[in-house]
Chains A and B, each alone.
Chain A
Amino acid sequence: MSTNRWLATGNFFTSYKEEQRIYRTHLDRSIFIVFLAVLFIWPLFFPVKNSTMLVIDNVMIAMIAVLGLNIVTGFAGLISIGHAAFVGIGAYAVGTAVTLLGKNHELIVYGWPVMILLGGMAGAAFGALVGLPALRLKHLYLAIATLSFQIIFEWVIMLMSFFDQGQTIAVGRVYWFGGKVLRQQHYTFWYYAILVFLILCGFMVRNLLRTRHGRCLIAVRDNDRAADAMGMHPGFTKVYAFIVAGLLAGIAGALKAYLDRGVGIESYTLHTSIEYLAMAIVGGLGTLNGSLWGPAAIQMLDLRVEELAELSGHYLPAELNLATALRPLTFGLVIVLFLMFEPRGIANWWRMFRSYTKLWPFRY
């Protein structure tokens, strides 16, 4: 991979074309296609509980959002502490349409793919707006700009009666070729919808990184003066990193609005932003598959923590609210420990596992 700065030794590319290739061999490509096919057909063979499907859906939405965060934080090297606000922009784009047109308007229930793309556009527009200071600033200051965007976003939503002061705005049930998507099929239907969007976004990011613009991001992250000298524009590069991040976040937000069948501020607060950051760090900043590992790992951890809190709730006094305490504690610990001991994240474990299995039984 051209983008992998942890590339294992012993991989010698003889041409640029070879280096930019997504799949190294035909076998890689076929394995990947089979894997995608499995993703599409497994719900047909295993009966899945709705609650399980909801978790999977939420993980996949987080994956789309973290892909965006990884563009801006991992590849472009700009910390964003307002990513949940971008996701919220996407969700509230749907919310705005619902408030203006009514929750069962044709555009919302039939034209939902359009709405999701519109959510992405809205996210991208706000990404450009927040990224604008990047034209003059280096990354430390941008972290603060994103933080203030998060706070202003929350405040605006909580203030405006148009958005119901952050209360949930209900979104109607969507229609598909088979008619209305009913309660029973809701989560499975959205599993497929989110999966399609996730795959499209994944390929978009993967292909972006193969282009000149993707390499620009990495060059600017590693040394913006050198990048400037090589004829790139670091300021604009950072702004479009924010635009791409906003686009992906907006798509994730609109999907979440449809999945939850409602838009409420509590899913888009500063805590969620930190959660996304934790996902990106745990998965591995600056890696594509890291943005897929991270959300899955954090969500699993979150479920375990919730179970633990529930279990300990039987033994501990009621006023000690362990659930609210344990979640930030574990997120913080996970962020700090990963940064201290495995800054390359789970993606690195995956890399080691892959090279181990590829070369087995030889060590080199």
Chain B
Amino acid sequence: MIYFIQLVVSGIVVGCIYALAALGFVLIYKSSRVINFAHGQIIAAGCFIAYALTVWAGIPFVISFLASMVITFFLSMSVERLFLRRMIGEPIISVIMVTIGLMSIIDGLIYLTPFGSTNYSFPQILPEQPLVFGGISISWPQVMGVVFTALMFGGFSWFFKRSTIGVAMRAVSDDQMAAMSVGVSVPKVFGLAWAAAGLTAAAAGVIIGNITGLNFDTLRAVGITVFPVVILGGLDSIVGAVVGGILIGIIQQFASGYLDGTYGLAGTADVVPYVVLIVILLFKPHGLFGTHEIERV
């Protein structure tokens, strides 16, 4: 029983981080209907920037964490400005292919840095002893991840509810034409959505980097694990990102906890989310919380 609870708890913890990673993806999809295949690369970039600032430039971790978020904020805003802005009005299929190209470009750029080939790990800033509650243990970086996810989601829900820009972003995601006619600058909102996505991606990247170490492949894979999360939760739902993230986290933990080693299976945690994804696509394509806009063709 304790094993089961341990799996659920670590599933929730991992899932929170997935939710944070998925948040940026959902922000972009919600505002501009673009599926961003380069999200994992932005996550990795955020993590590497934080590492470079902390270790190579010797800036305290907290400041470099915030700085990396600011840098990716502007980085992904400029990505939008440079590549995506020109594609407004093109068929959505070309826009998505541009993000696939971007994924490849950022891959190449990261391979140019030492991070592409070497693994690093963040200096130990949190206590090494994990937290233990009655036999269930959680490591400190994971606690940090959960706290940060909660903070981020709290911040963003406040932002969307109360601030003018947030309301404008919701308006654009609801109806671009109507938003434009009341004076919302739609391209600016797209840029902001990308920037906000970059910010959350950096936060997710730094937290994942703290838990698993800085391996480019691991970080990049998170950007792909985001797909099952958002499909399960609904592509355009922020609540869905949280619920989907936690569900996928728990499913992964169950897979590695119960399936691995039986019937000669190994590494099921990497593949079960995608099986779930295909099943969801077949039976409930708009996910748990997504808008039911997908028509049956």
Answer whether residue B127 sits at the interface, using C-beta atoms and an 8 A cutoff: no
Answer whether residue B57 sits at the interface, using C-beta atoms and an 8 A cutoff: no
Encoded as 1 (CB less than 8 Å from any B CB) or 0, chain A from 320 to 350 comes to 1110111111111111100110010000000
Given A148-B277, A155-B270, A159-B265, does the pair A330, B117 have CB atoms closer than 8 Å?
no
- Bound Cα distance from A217 to B167, whole angstroms: 40
Q: Are A139 and B227 in contact (CB under 8 A)?
A: no
Judged by DSSP, the binding face of B is helix
The stretch from B3-11, B86-94, B152-160, B240-248 touching chain A is B86-94
Top 8 A-B pairs ranked by shortest CB distance?
A329-B108, A332-B104, A335-B101, A332-B105, A325-B111, A148-B274, A336-B101, A328-B108
| Interface-central residue, A144, A147, A326, by most chain B CB under 10 Å | A144
B104 contact set on A, CB distance < 8 A: 274, 278, 328-329, 331-332, 335
Q: Are B295 and A333 in contact (CB under 8 A)?
A: no
A-B contact pairs, 8 of them (CB 8 A): A133-B278, A143-B96, A144-B231, A145-B281, A147-B224, A277-B97, A336-B83, A339-B87
- Bound Cα distance from A156 to B251, whole angstroms: 19
Answer whether residue A224 sits at the interface, using C-beta atoms and an 8 A cutoff: yes
B2 contact set on A, CB distance < 8 A: none
- Bound Cα distance from A231 to B102, whole angstroms: 39
- Bound Cα distance from A136 to B94, whole angstroms: 22
Given A147-B227, A159-B267, A333-B105, does the pair A141, B297 have CB atoms closer than 8 Å?
no
A137 contact set on B, CB distance < 8 A: 281, 285, 294, 297
Residue total for B at the interface (Cβ-Cβ under 8 A): 50
* Chain A contacts with B in 127-146, Cβ cutoff 8 A: 132-141, 143-145
The residue that A159 contacts in the complex, of B93, B98, B266, B282, with Cβ under 8 A, is B266
Judged by DSSP, the binding face of A is helix
Q: Are A336 and B105 in contact (CB under 8 A)?
A: yes
Q: Are B271 and A155 in contact (CB under 8 A)?
A: yes
Given A136-B282, A145-B278, A333-B105, does the pair A321, B227 have CB atoms closer than 8 Å?
no
**B101 to chain A: closest CB distance in Å?**
3
A135 contact set on B, CB distance < 8 A: 297
Given A228-B297, A340-B83, does the pair A144, B227 have CB atoms closer than 8 Å?
yes
A145 contact set on B, CB distance < 8 A: 277-278, 281
Answer whether residue A36 sits at the interface, using C-beta atoms and an 8 A cutoff: no
Q: Are B278 and A79 in contact (CB under 8 A)?
A: no
Given A151-B274, A155-B271, does the pair A133, B285 have CB atoms closer than 8 Å?
yes
Given A335-B100, A339-B94, does the pair A144, B35 have CB atoms closer than 8 Å?
yes
Encoded as 1 (CB less than 8 Å from any A CB) or 0, chain B from 279 to 297 comes to 0011001000000001111
The residue that B285 contacts in the complex, of A136, A324, A333, with Cβ under 8 A, is A136
Instruction: Give B38's nearest chain A residue, CB to CB.
Output: A332
Q: Are A144 and B108 in contact (CB under 8 A)?
A: no
The residue that A324 contacts in the complex, of B97, B101, B116, with Cβ under 8 A, is B116
**B277 to chain A: closest CB distance in Å?**
5
Q: Are A332 and B108 in contact (CB under 8 A)?
A: yes
A141 contact set on B, CB distance < 8 A: 231, 281, 285, 294
Answer whether residue A262 sits at the interface, using C-beta atoms and an 8 A cutoff: no
Q: Are A152 and B93 in contact (CB under 8 A)?
A: no
Answer whether residue A234 sits at the interface, using C-beta atoms and an 8 A cutoff: yes
Instruction: Give A129's nearest chain B residue, CB to CB.
Output: B278
B1 contact set on A, CB distance < 8 A: none
* Chain A contacts with B in 51-93, Cβ cutoff 8 A: 73, 77, 79, 81
Answer whether residue B275 sits at the interface, using C-beta atoms and an 8 A cutoff: yes
Instruction: Give A158's nearest chain B residue, CB to CB.
Output: B267
Q: Are A324 and B103 in contact (CB under 8 A)?
A: no
**B220 to chain A: closest CB distance in Å?**
10
Given A234-B297, A328-B111, A332-B108, does the pair A77, B93 have CB atoms closer than 8 Å?
yes
Q: Are B282 and A340 in contact (CB under 8 A)?
A: no
Encoded as 1 (CB less than 8 Å from any B CB) or 0, chain A from 222 to 237 comes to 0010001000001100
Q: Are B267 and A340 in contact (CB under 8 A)?
A: no
Answer whether residue A288 sits at the interface, using C-beta atoms and an 8 A cutoff: no
Given A325-B116, A330-B108, A343-B90, does the pair A79, B285 have CB atoms closer than 8 Å?
no
- Bound Cα distance from A340 to B105, whole angstroms: 15
Q: Are B282 and A339 in contact (CB under 8 A)?
A: no
**B30 to chain A: closest CB distance in Å?**
13
- Bound Cα distance from A224 to B33, whole angstroms: 19
Answer whether residue B80 sits at the interface, using C-beta atoms and an 8 A cutoff: no
- Bound Cα distance from A326 to B96, whole angstroms: 22
B265 contact set on A, CB distance < 8 A: 159
Answer whether residue B109 sits at the interface, using C-beta atoms and an 8 A cutoff: yes
Answer whether residue B135 sits at the interface, using C-beta atoms and an 8 A cutoff: no
Instruction: Give A275's nearest chain B residue, CB to CB.
Output: B104
- Bound Cα distance from A143 to B103, whole angstroms: 15
Encoded as 1 (CB less than 8 Å from any A CB) or 0, chain B from 109 to 124 comes to 1011010111000000
